[in-house]
Structure 1
Amino acid sequence: MGNILIIEDEEKVAAVLKAYLEKEGYKVWCTTKGLQGLELFKKEDFNLVILDLMLPDIDGEEVCKRIRNISDVYIFMFTAKGDLSNRIEGLEIGADEYLVKPFSPRELTVRVNALFRRIKGESSSMLSFDNDNLQIFKEERIVKVKGEEVYLTPNEFAILYTLALNKGKVFTREMLIEGAFDMDFEGFDRTIDVHIKNIRKKIEEDSKNPKYILTVTRVGYKFGGDI
């Protein structure tokens, strides 16, 4: 059904999560150390990494950055750090979701199931804009800018594809959360803004004067006008 890597320094927590997820049919690997997690990641084909930030040998943030350098795999972060600045930092370095401890294993399982439903439900299609300068391949989850592939996180890709598929339609932040993800995703306004900022850095020539993802003042965002 799906391969999941849990990197969590508390063995009891990891064991409980592993039991819940394996009951749902997932194949789960666990490790308590970040470096060992990185080695496992290089050896197996994972669909999801569940990553604790407080690890004994290397910061979870560093693990996330290293994984992002080589893969666009989904990453769920969890930690006891619950303030907004920590959440934003996690998203900016490439996390797709951010859960604050303590949380229910059932809640995590619901989110994981929702993620895999989205993956399974994707259909083949390609969108092209700006005389093929921007190409979005949904099934392959690939984005090309002027023929060169750029790497988006899974949630960045979901937001970009939703906007591009509905070119010209104005989305509020809440509409983007519902359209790009699903109702199981507990997003907040600042989450969408951070993702949009990251997407613009990757696909726009001038991220401060974007032509693809446009801001609609006091409302939200839409995908470009004359492209």
Structure 2
Amino acid sequence: MTHILLVEDDERLAKLIQKFLKQNNFDVTVLHSGEQAIDYIKNTPPDLAILDVMLPKVDGFSICRSVRQHFHNPILFLTAKDSDFDHVLGLEIGADDYLIKPIEPHVLLARINTRLRQSQPIEKPVDSIQFDELHINKAARKVLLNGKEVELTSHEFELLWLLALNAGEPQNREYIHKKMIDREYDGLDRSVDVRVSRLRKKLNDNLENPYRIITVWGKGYMLSKTAWTA
């Protein structure tokens, strides 16, 4: 799961941003002081850092200057100051983006996703995944388990592929719903649970105590990497 560090001294705003980003499948750490942020970034580098400019004692610019030499992931500044000078200064000292408060949550999310995509190395697309006796071929849309083909619907295959790409990491229902159905989860739709149940049955999982597609309470569904021997 992508780890974001949010450094914001407005505790109410920090909680709102943290809640929104968690709902969108990010792991979010919140700090309220610049001193803590410098040590945290050096010792536990996040995938992306959001820094409030107007922090007491050690401000966002100072944090960026202190960590930029060894921290190469995206840094976004968040500030109430609408100043071209501050904007230019922030970019010159190594920030990747500069956002003015108040900012719409979905605009913040779009900026974060853009910067994360730009920071990722270009990799060859994954065409197949294998865990012991489970073989998934995306190009052929074929699944083999213990040498036998498993007949899946298009939706079941897409769900399995999503879980396999993130095997070992829980994927929450809201994220799966958004990826599979392309709309926000309303809290009532059970289509993801139904598809998981059908997929478990076709993959010879234990329906009462699943060990191949595991329910991680409070976090979502997770495909095991180690439960695929004959």
TM-score, length of structure 2 as denominator length: 0.51
Task: Give 1:40 deviation, angstroms.
Answer: 1.6
Distance, in Å, in 2 between the alignment partners of 1:118 and 1:47 is 12
Cα deviations by residue, 1:37-60 (Å, 9 ceiling, x for unpaired): 112212313110000011122121
The question of whether the paired residues in 2 share the 8 Å contact of 1:87 and 1:98 is answered with yes
2:68 alignment partner, SS class:
helix
Q: CA deviation at 1:119?
A: 4.2
Task: Tell me how far 1:121 sits from its aligned partner.
Answer: 6.9
- Secondary structure in structure 2 of the residue aligned to 1:16: helix
More displaced 10-residue stretch of structure 1: 39-48 or 92-101: 39-48
1:107 positional shift: 1.1
User: Could you give the per-residue CA deviations for residues 107-141 of structure 1, whole angstroms, max 9, x where no partner exists?
Assistant: 101211223334457237xxxxxxxxxxxxxxxxx
Contact 2:42 2:71 in 1 (8 A): no
Q: Which residue in 2 is equivalent to 1:182?
A: none
Q: CA-to-partner distance for each residue in 1:148-191, whole Å, 9 max, x for gaps?
A: xxxxxxxxxxxxxxxxxxxxxxxxxxxxxxxxxxxxxxxxxxxx
Aligned length: 124
Instruction: Find out whether 1:112 has 2:123 as its counterpart.
Output: no
For 1:42, the equivalent position in structure 2 comes to: 42
Q: 2:22 matched to which residue of 1?
A: 22
Check if 1:83 corresponds to 2:83: yes
Supply the RMSD in Å over aligned alpha carbons.
1.6
2:32 paired residue number: 32
Q: Give the corresponding residue for 1:148.
A: none
2:22 aligned counterpart, secondary structure: helix
Q: CA deviation at 1:86?
A: 1.2
Contact persistence 2:45–2:71 (CA under 8 A):
no
Distance 1:108 1:86 in 2: 19
* Runs of 4+ displaced beyond 4 Å: none
1:54 matched residue in structure 2 = 54
DSSP-derived class of the 1:54 partner:
coil
Instruction: Work out the percentage of aligned pairs sharing the same amino acid.
Output: 35
Match for 2:63: what amino acid?
Answer: V
Show the counterpart of 2:123.
123
The corresponding residue for 2:68 is: 68
| Separation in structure 1 between the aligned mates of residue 91 and residue 120 of structure 2, nearest angstrom | 24
Aligned to 2:198: none
What does the per-residue CA deviation read over 1:23-78, in whole Å, with 9 as the maximum and x for residues that have no partner? 11111100110001112212313110000011122121111101102211210001
| Rg larger for | 2
Kept in 1: contact 2:5–2:28 (CA 8 A) = yes
Cα distance in 2 for residues equivalent to 1:22 and 1:43 = 22
Contact preservation (8 Å) 1:20, 1:106 = no
Question: Structure 1-normalised TM-score?
Answer: 0.51
Question: Matched residues in 2 for 1:117 and 1:77: separation?
Answer: 18
- Unpaired segments of 5 or more residues in structure 1? 125-227
